[in-house]
Amino acid sequence: MQDVFVYQGLRTPFGKVGGALAGQRPDDLAALVISELVAQAPGLTPENAGEVVGEVVFGNANGAGEENRNVARMAWLLAKLPVHVPATTINRLCGSSLDAAISGARQIALGETDVILAGGVESMSRAPWVLPKTERPFPMANLELANTTLGWRLINERMPKEWTVSLGEATEQLRERHGIGRERQDAFAARSHELAARAWAQGHLADLTVAVPGVDLDTDETIRAGVTSEKLAGLRTVFRSENGTVTAGNASPMNDGASAVWLGSAAGGEKLGLTPQVRIAGWAAAANEPQYFGYAPVDASNKALARAGIGWAEVGAVELNEAFAAQSLACLDAWDIDPEIVNAWGGAIAIGHPLGASGTRVLATLAKRMQLSGERWGVATLCIGVGQGLAVVLENATTHPTQN
């Protein structure tokens, strides 16, 4: 088995739904981050990339719009790179691009290739309405369009009703189970905005992003610098009129964006001309009841840590995708870790959550954080709709280089 390293990560700034990136096709956003990663690898040129890159693996949660027909393949071709590099697209909803990275890491570990370009993309602005086909021709009844932006649609009537509640209602049920109140959620959300704004001001997130040509967007569009928990406390609840706690302020927004990372073996890094940031030390998936999807990162992270041979006491940095403040807090409570090591540059409540792009965003952010802080061990993890979680454990390759 070969060691697998993350060499570099890059993303677009994340736009809000209907915002600055709404005019950009998802396949074009994906092509942009691919082109820029190729350009920033000293060992690559558009001409020799076909000899170095073994495969392109991208995540996408929708697949019903302009990203159909295998967006990984389309993006590589739109980037005007060699046609003989294969590509595949993975759908594990919110975890799609982290799953893409895991898939790529597995190929490298098995010695199938030395270099993988893994990433993900989502345009929630451009997610289409869909009209189901009828069971017989020319029905006389009216037909209803389904919005594919987020959540359940075209639900199978055999699916238990408790599993198909909205993501927000599921989060309300989760926070009731774990006793997480509104005040904690709003404080957590305000912290996300404060840290994200600070990270942009300090240049940490700018180093991880590439501007979208022709678009006036130089930071993540949904960050609100200066927001306080007191301001958030004034927002109305969204999913319950009584006894509700989940608001637009303590949940992640809907977004557009793309992200990607270079993965490789030691030999792959030499081909790329890049120095490894972190070694991928373990990964895992977990699943539970669909309505408790927000808690699935607990088991996924615990399993990944066990496979890496370490425990939470050794972890110095965590990137947990903030789908909702309540589910994030439930995970932190279960792990019993210092919350200050989690999302030190802000999280998805502020930065945004363009479903298919979030996994490699948290992976690349964690790798960069660990480089700067020197922490040896880190965990990148996400919750996933329909009751799943993914996690990847990273080891700092700069402070603790692997001895092959």
Tokens of 181: 């109140």
Tokens of 64: 């019903």
Question: Choosing from 94, 193, 204, 331, which is the catalytic residue?
Answer: 94
Establish whether 331 is a catalytic residue: no
Question: Choosing from 193, 204, 331, 383, which is the catalytic residue?
Answer: 383
CB 65 within 8 A of CB 91: no
What is the rounded CA–CA span in Å between residue 71 and residue 120?
A: 9
165: exposed, middle or buried (Cβ count in 10 Å: 0-12, 13-18, 19+): middle
CB 323 within 8 A of CB 381: no
53: left (phi over 0), alpha (psi -120 to 50) or beta: beta
Q: Which residue has the tokens 């302009």?
A: 66
Establish whether 353 is a catalytic residue: yes
Q: Which residues pair with 8 in a beta bridge?
A: 262
Question: Choosing from 193, 204, 331, 353, which is the catalytic residue?
Answer: 353
Tokens of 8: 């570099």
Give buried/exposed letters for 324-357 (b at 16+ CB in 10 A, else e). Answer: bbbbbbbbbeebebeeebbbbbbbbbbbbbbbbb
* Residue 76 backbone dihedrals phi, psi, to 5 degrees: -60, -45
Residues contacting 158, CB < 8 A, separation 6+: none
* Residue 153 backbone dihedrals phi, psi, to 5 degrees: -155, 150
DSSP assignments along 284-321, one per residue: EEEE--GGGGGGHHHHHHHHHHHHHT--GGGEEEEEE-
DSSP 8-state assignment for residue 383: E
Establish whether 383 is a catalytic residue: yes
Residues labelled as active-site residues? 94, 353, 383
